[in-house]
Amino acid sequence: MWSMRAGNLPGSVGPVGAGEAMTKNVAAYFADTVIPAIRSEHLELVADMSIIVLGSAGLGVADESSDLEAAVYLDDTLWHEKGGQLQLTLNRRLRETCPYKMEGSTLCVWPTSWLLEGRMDKLLNGGEVKPWEEVAIEDLFTIQSNLIVWDPKDFLRRLRAATGPRQMPGAVWKQRLLLCLKKLLWEDFGELRSCVKRKRIAEAHILFGLVMESLLHAAFLISRRYYPWRTHLRWAFGQLPSPAADAASHIDVAVASTDWSEKMAAVERVVTVYKKYISENGILPEIDILSSDMCEELVWAERLKAWENPNWRDWIVQCKEKAAIAGYHEDDSWVWSLWGWAKGQAERQDEPDDGDPPQAVGPEVSTT
């Protein structure tokens, strides 16, 4: 039986320290107030519903500014037939008894088909990679880490067991990390440098926020842990092992400093910590994480899906050869990649030769 604590499966983050008392309080509120109210007015639903507490209260880190959010799940048939009346009961009961800040508090009645963006059944049944690529990491974190207060048929527990970090395919972890690093290093950090150099401070602040989010996300992905929604991101980051533990002080300097040179240097130090850890621990062996042209490395690695195609560099070599045969510079080789041109072809596009790229996509244009 669930022990009224947030999940302790590998990769989950549960309530700790002072949060223990808050977790007990919210569990008691549901046990003593919410569930009895449902039992009194909707007895026929009690055995079929599942309840998970969301947000700060569900993670055991609520404070005086926290509201109370929870999801009451019913199968779709019950939700359509009786969910509306249950919702009205919960609305009234919450207004009368809410132990948290009432503004923003809600006890929502949802159909189970809404879980994990409609991909719950495929993830429960297993065997497919696509749902893992599409579901939000934050939603997986919630399933793993937030407090389950009612689950008589073990519905949420079974979903938790089926969607733990160890169940996510290794290729999907690599894909998500590679895409995160590309966004960080090739897109946001490069644009941040340009804005700081040009003294475009408003734009720099916007991009700095994106860079910090990617830096925090990357640490979770390197460690193959799920990350929470951004309101709890730094808190959960603080519970990670290396390389997050080695980068935490630099993260805090970057956030606290008012000097842009110091902020940028701190970000660079975090990137260095991550690269060193990835290289030494073989986290992404498909790419050269220490490449002198990291941006080019990441762009091609994404375009050619390096996480599932270990020979992805062969296509680049072929395209460079084709460009050279046609009398063009090797830097133009992306044109042969995008259009699938045959050797010697530059002015027209015939049928591609036998070296088709693995779903190559169009060239990306830097805005810097």
Q: Supply the pLDDT for residue 126.
A: 77
Cβ neighbours of residue 22 closer than 8 Å, sequence gap 6 or more: 15, 57, 60, 61, 62
Report pLDDT for 9. 30
Concatenating the DSSP letter of every residue in 210-252 gives: HHHHHHHHHHHHHTT-----GGGHHHHHTT--TTHHHHHHHHH
Helix, strand, coil in percent for the chain, rounding step 5? 60, 5, 35
The mean pLDDT of 116-143, rounded to a whole number, is 90
What is the pLDDT confidence band of residue 337, given thresholds at 50, 70 and 90? confident
**pLDDT, position 48:** 97
- Whether cis (ω within 30° of 0) applies to the bond prior to 15 is no
pLDDT given for residue 128 in this prediction: 82
pLDDT tens profile 281-310: 999 999 999 999 998 899 999 999 999 998
In this predicted structure, which of 6-10, 145-149, 156-160, 348-352 has the lowest mean pLDDT? Answer: 6-10
* pTM (2 d.p.): 0.85
Which residues sit opposite 70 in a β-bridge? 53, 107
Q: How many angstroms separate the CA atoms of 79 and 108, rounded?
A: 11
85 alpha carbon, distance to own chain's centre: 34
β-bridge pairing 101-111 and 50-54: unpaired
From 75-79, 237-241, 262-266, 309-313, the region with the lowest mean pLDDT = 309-313
Q: What percent of the chain has pLDDT over 90?
A: 76
- Which pLDDT belongs to residue 125? 83
Q: Is the pLDDT reported for residue 345 higher than 90?
A: no
Tell me the pLDDT band of 340, cut-offs 50, 70 and 90: confident
- Of 129-133, 134-138, 145-149, 168-172, the one with minimum mean pLDDT is 129-133
Res. 256 pLDDT band, cuts 50 70 90: very high
List strands edge to edge, sheet with 50-54.
Answer: 101-111, 67-74, 50-54, 148-150
pLDDT at 76 > cutoff 60: yes
pLDDT at 356: 56
- Dihedral angle sign, alpha carbons of residues 161, 162, 163, 168: positive
Judged against a pLDDT cut of 80, whether residue 41 lies above it is answered with yes
Per-residue pLDDT band for 227 (boundaries 50, 70, 90) equals very high
Lowest-pLDDT range of 48-62, 158-172, 317-331, 332-346: 332-346
Q: Which phi and psi (to 5°) does residue 285 adopt?
A: -65, -15
Phi (first) and psi of residue 241, to 5 degrees: -80, -165
- Sign of the CA dihedral 264, 267, 271, 277? positive
